[in-house]
Amino acid sequence: MDARHLLYFAPSSGAEDPAGPSLYDGLSAVSQAGWQIHLAADRAQAGDLLERRTFGAAMVKLDQSACGSLRSDLERFSGADRYLPWVALLRPEDRQDPDIGRLLWECFYDFHTLPADIQRLLTTLGHADGMASLARAAAEPSVEASDEPQMVGVCPAMQQVFTNIRKIAAVDAPVLITGESGTGKELAARAIHERSRRSEGPFVAVNCAALPETLIQSELFGYERGAFTGAQRRKLGSIESANGGTLFLDEIGDIALDLQVNLLRFLEESAIQRVGNPREIPVDVRVIAATHTDMERAIARGRFREDLYFRLNVLRLDMPALREREGDMEVLAQFFFQRFRRETSHRVKGFSSEALQTIAEYGWPGNVREIINRVRRATVMCEGRLITPSDLGLAQPSRSVRMLTLDEVRAEAEKDAILGALKASGHNLSKAARALGTSRPRLYRLMAKYEIEA
């Protein structure tokens, strides 16, 4: 049987040792029971041991004089191994101290009063070792199954996303990433960039929806000194800054029509003109665009150029909504809990069964961004050992969700059917009316009702 490794943190040793010689007799019995004991006489030595080895359990002597410094030591040690269970050894009289009691509750797996009952201590250490093994095994529930940075998922839809990212990264064509807000479109773009031949070049992200129309031209293409009032020096635009790398245009569907012409020219010519300079500047940039809008509908309504859409939509990556990723909600919650747990006291151990059930049943309209925010807040605000639905802000079912009326369902179905027929017929109203089984005048009336442009 392989020896199990026990870290014994004894910052106060020798003549000042409060445990007395009986503890060292007990350590001999622990060693004979199959534990290999590693003594750390100070914080630096303990940290070095934790960096080099995985321990099944750890023990430390605890008294009033060491209570304050020990808390900071344990928080520092948790950075090296957050799953290591600590067992405290203390004198009977120290149990009455409120600071020690609080420290025991928040930071320790168990405690023993001295002189220690060796058989009970061995039982505790064995249980601690088993629980540490379970925690380490459960802490990575397939979240590392993908090597995509920051992207987590085990469901078939996400596995297909990971496969598509690797395929897309192997070529240098423009990419259009679609999906609802909060589904991780920028993460997917970064993953493509980091796996492409451009990975050594810059990755420049621009949120087209966040820039005013008066500024987006100069932000993308740059400007010369004196090009307009306030232009006191030359400024490189985002496109030129991404030369040799990747330009990520987020929310491309919100960009103004007049600027779409300039983007189309840039994609066709691989060259730009800074504002105030007619000279064309060649650039070598891969463009990845993303949108949460229905681009086909935007084109049909004249809000987006069809030729630009075809230039951007050479390769397409669809990011699934979180509600479509069956089984991923708990995986994501556990993943982000482990990340945010480092920011707080490690007394919070995880999620209650009720919280996990609520996570699985909730609709997550904000997608992954929402689960990140809720888990982070719950990890900070939780007052118990386990996160509850209340900590997540999901204690009560949402009252904002209501059943649609039959009239609303009928209207939505009619609108979708008309849009589909128009697209299939190339916007030939006669053909669309025949496909829908209605007359052309009635189709006109319905289009006007639903504000559908011909």
CATH 3.40.50.2300 residue ranges of the chain are 4-139
Q: How far is CA 93 from the centre of its chain?
A: 47
CATH code for the part of the protein at 4-139: 3.40.50.2300
Would you say domain 406-449 falls under CATH 1.10.3470? Answer: no
Output the tens digit of pLDDT for each of the chain's 454 residues. Answer: 467 899 998 875 443 454 455 565 677 888 888 899 999 888 888 888 988 888 999 999 887 777 767 877 887 787 677 788 899 988 888 888 888 888 888 788 889 888 888 888 888 898 888 888 877 766 554 444 344 446 888 889 999 999 999 999 999 999 999 999 999 999 999 999 999 999 999 999 999 888 777 778 888 888 888 777 777 788 888 999 999 999 999 999 988 888 899 899 999 999 988 888 888 899 999 999 999 989 999 999 999 999 999 999 999 999 999 999 988 999 899 888 888 876 665 668 788 888 989 999 999 999 999 999 999 999 888 888 789 999 999 865 444 455 677 778 888 888 888 888 888 888 888 888 888 888 887 888 888 888 887 6
What pLDDT sits at residue 344? 67
Total-model pTM: 0.60
Ranges for all domains in the chain classified under CATH 1.10.8.60: 325-387
Q: Where in the chain is the domain with CATH 3.40.50.300?
A: 169-318
Q: Where in the chain is the domain with CATH 1.10.10?
A: 406-449
What's the CATH class of domain 325-387?
A: mainly alpha
Residues 6+ apart with CB under 8 A from 434: none
* CATH number, span 169-318: 3.40.50.300
